[in-house]
């Protein structure tokens, strides 16, 4: 082994040519637990540019860190990114010309590159035991020296090194960072970026797996990646990658480092502290994929403009692709503003076709036990009617459950919220009596003809109740309808009252009014 670096180019390095011209981008998540929201954010920007340019978007699974590997993580990644519609052209599940797309299945690929780096003196074996390295680090910290490998093994043969303490049988391979290693590079979003000088980084571990640094460079090259777009946290790694490209005689890709997603306290958003850092959370909480994608785009990109030059914050992925430009990406870490997400989600819910909203509510309602897996046609029809009533009243699909539940409860099983009942005015029994009397004469609406003023439909229900309670009893509308709302829905806040009564039908409505009335003393007034 030579210890002085020589120009790369001698050892053969296999190459797979990529289609000339079309950009190729990728995300390279590590399957280490629930997918992080940052993965979707990266997928979004990478995919947007690939789509705009007619290029390819690749999903590569970086599973070389066996200690943190989680076997369920990869499927969750497919599920969540697929749910968001951020699909990939090549990947472990769909294959592609550069398969395999899982690094653990590519170990043979990395070997010639390591050999070449060793042969050219750009890398060396290191037999230092983990214990020795820990002691070294501790000593450096105590002496307030920069931490980093002290090159104990550099220039030594195995036999020479074995004579010294802190030796282990199986070596790792380290990069030999030259003193004049370049530490700045060009970034598509940030311009010239400087990073700290790296130490002699490990590139091949004792288990024969490459580290991230080697694998990422080799795979980006082998897979013909033209643009490496990743989080800001990788800026400090980029000089190592640039060096590896240079040593191996490869053309480095274009680099772009996206701003980190930050929590309201400006710390990096983390799965430990914020549930919204988990990608699965958004689906569980009733966000629409369109809204999540829109939200993630807005975190690092300005809103669109309408013809009047005003900001338009709601846009689709395709609209985003059309106006995408790297120069407009923010470099300042965007804060995760959940109020904005709720607002956007509400907008997206309002824009859904009723059928679509109904279909999206269904799994939420099944999960919350309001509907069964196999709802009847009648139940589904009713759901569409209720969905129309609540469409403008919910910011998340999960908020629908409480509003929808009363429409599926049996009249005698409806749970009336104690607090809501306690807050009703003392007029409540009289109001309920008047309402029952006013609604009794209405008839179930005809199935085919237009309903008239005598039928049990929202307009006639409203007219009858207003006449009886507001006009007849002189009670203000705000107070007049409170008892009816509680009777019908069990809650103080409910979908629009008269429409709700129409959906429930005369029989259920009257049964519910009577049921609440029965909880008060005194006999009902004669209708």
Active site residues: 271
- Regarding 234 and contact with ligand GLU (CB under 6 A), the answer is yes
What tokens were used for 234?
A: 């990788």
Q: How far is the CB of 325 from ligand GLU (least distance, A)?
A: 21
The number of C-alpha atoms within 13 Å of 410 and in the hemisphere containing its C-beta is 2
| Token pair belonging to 380 | 């589904």
Contact between 248 and ligand GLU by CB under 6 A: the answer reads: no
Shortest Å distance, C-beta 411 to ligand GLU: 54
Six token digits for residue 293: 């994608």
442 in Cβ contact with 455 (< 8 Å) = yes
Q: How far apart are CA 459 and CA 442, in angstroms?
A: 12
Q: How many residues bind ligand GLU (CB under 6 A)?
A: 8
- When the beta carbons of 40 and 357 are compared against ligand GLU, the nearer one is 40
- Cβ pair 59, 26 in contact under 8 A: yes
Record the tokens describing residue 190, joined without a space. 């940030």
Nearer to ligand GLU, 204 or 362 (CB): 204
Report in angstroms how near the CB of residue 27 gets to ligand GLU at its nearest: 7
> CA nearest 517: which of 402, 416, 442, 403?
416
Binding region for ligand GLU (CB under 6 A) out of 24-32, 346-354, 387-395, 417-425: 24-32
Pick the closer one to ligand GLU by CB: 220 or 502: 220
Contacts with ligand GLU, 392-421, as mask; x by CB under 6 A? ------------------------------
Nearest approach, Cβ of 37 to ligand GLU (angstroms)? 12
- Do the strands 311-312 and 304-305 form a parallel or antiparallel pair, or are they unpaired? antiparallel
Q: Which residues of 41-75 are buried (b: 16+ CB within 10 A; e: fewer)?
A: bbbbbbbbbbbebebbbbbbbbbbeeeeeeeebbe
Between residue 150 and residue 209, which ones bind ligand GLU under the rule CB under 6 A?
none
> Whole-angstrom Cα distance, residue 265 to residue 361?
34
3-state SS, residue 158: helix
Interface pick for ligand GLU out of 25, 28, 223, 258 (rule CB under 6 A): 28
Shortest distance (Å) from residue 502 CB to ligand GLU:
53
Nearest residue to the partner ligand GLU, using Cβ: 230
Does 69 contact ligand GLU by CB under 6 A?
no
Decide if residue 216 touches ligand GLU (CB under 6 A).
yes
User: According to the binding rule CB under 6 A, does residue 29 interact with ligand GLU?
Assistant: yes
Judged by CB under 6 A, the residue of 34, 62, 200, 219 near ligand GLU is 62
Task: Name residues whose C-beta falls within 8 Å of residue 339's C-beta, 6 or more positions apart in sequence.
Answer: none
Distance in angstroms (rounded) separating the CA atoms of residues 274 and 272: 6
| Least distance CB 271 / ligand GLU (angstroms) | 13
Q: Based on the shown chain and the rule CB under 6 A, indicate whether residue 30 belongs to the binding site for ligand GLU.
A: yes
Residues found near ligand GLU in the complex (CB under 6 A):
28-30, 62, 212, 216, 230, 234
């Amino acid at each position: 082994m030579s210890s002085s670096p020589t120009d790369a180019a001698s050892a053969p390095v296999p190459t797979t040519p990529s289609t000339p011209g079309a950009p190729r981008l990728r995300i390279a998540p590590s399957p280490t637990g629930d997918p992080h929201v940052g993965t979707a954010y990266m997928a979004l920007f990478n995919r947007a540019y690939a789509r705009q340019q007619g290029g390819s978007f690749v999903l590569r699974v970086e599973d070389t860190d066996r200690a943190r590997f989680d076997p369920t993580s990869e499927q969750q990644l497919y599920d969540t990114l697929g749910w968001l519609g951020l699909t990939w052209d090549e990947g472990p599940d769909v294959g592609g010309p550069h398969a395999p797309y899982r690094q653990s299945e590519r170990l043979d690929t990395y070997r010639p590159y390591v050999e070449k780096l060793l042969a050219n003196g750009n890398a060396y074996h290191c037999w230092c035991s983990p214990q020795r390295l820990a002691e070294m680090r501790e000593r450096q910290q105590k002496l307030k020296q920069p931490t980093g490998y002290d090159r104990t093994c550099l220039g030594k043969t195995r036999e020479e090194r074995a004579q010294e303490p802190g030796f282990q049988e199986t070596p790792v391979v380290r990069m030999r960072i030259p003193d004049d290693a370049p530490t700045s590079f060009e970034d598509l979003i940030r311009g010239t970026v400087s990073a700290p000088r790296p130490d002699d980084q490990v590139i091949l571990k004792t288990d024969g797996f490459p580290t991230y640094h080697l694998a990422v460079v080799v795979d980006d090259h082998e897979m013909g990646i033209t643009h490496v777009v990743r989080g800001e946290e990788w800026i400090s790694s980029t000089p190592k990658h640039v060096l590896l490209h240079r040593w191996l005689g490869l053309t480095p890709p274009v680099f772009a480092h996206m701003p980190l997603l930050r929590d309201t306290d400006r710390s990096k958003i983390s799965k430990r502290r914020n549930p919204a850092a988990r990608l699965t959370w958004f689906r569980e909480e009733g966000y629409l994929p369109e809204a999540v994608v829109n939200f993630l785009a807005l975190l690092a990109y300005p809103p669109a403009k309408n013809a009047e030059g005003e900001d338009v914050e709601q846009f689709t992925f395709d609209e985003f692709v059309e106006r995408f430009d790297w120069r407009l990406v923010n470099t300042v870490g965007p804060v995760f503003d959940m109020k904005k997400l709720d607002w956007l989600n509400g907008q997206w819910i309002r824009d859904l076709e009723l059928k679509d909203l109904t279909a999206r509510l269904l799994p939420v309602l099944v999960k919350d036990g309001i509907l069964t897996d196999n709802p009847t046609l009648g139940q589904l029809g009713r759901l569409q009617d209720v969905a129309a009533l609540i469409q403008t009243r919910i910011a998340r699909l999960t908020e629908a459950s409480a509003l929808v539940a009363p429409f599926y409860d049996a009249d005698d099983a409806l749970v009336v919220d104690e607090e809501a009942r306690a807050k009703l005015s003392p007029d409540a029994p009289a109001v309920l009596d008047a309402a029952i009397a006013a609604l009794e004469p209405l008839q179930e609406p005809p199935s085919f003809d237009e309903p008239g003023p005598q039928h049990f439909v929202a307009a006639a229900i409203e007219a009858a109740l207003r006449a009886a309670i507001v006009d007849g009893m002189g009670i203000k509308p705000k107070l007049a309808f409170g008892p009816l709302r509680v009777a019908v829905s069990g809650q103080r806040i409910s979908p629009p009252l008269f429409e709700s009564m129409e959906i429930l039908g005369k029989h259920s409505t009257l049964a519910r009014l009577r049921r609440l009335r029965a909880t008060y003393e005194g006999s009902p007034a004669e209708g």
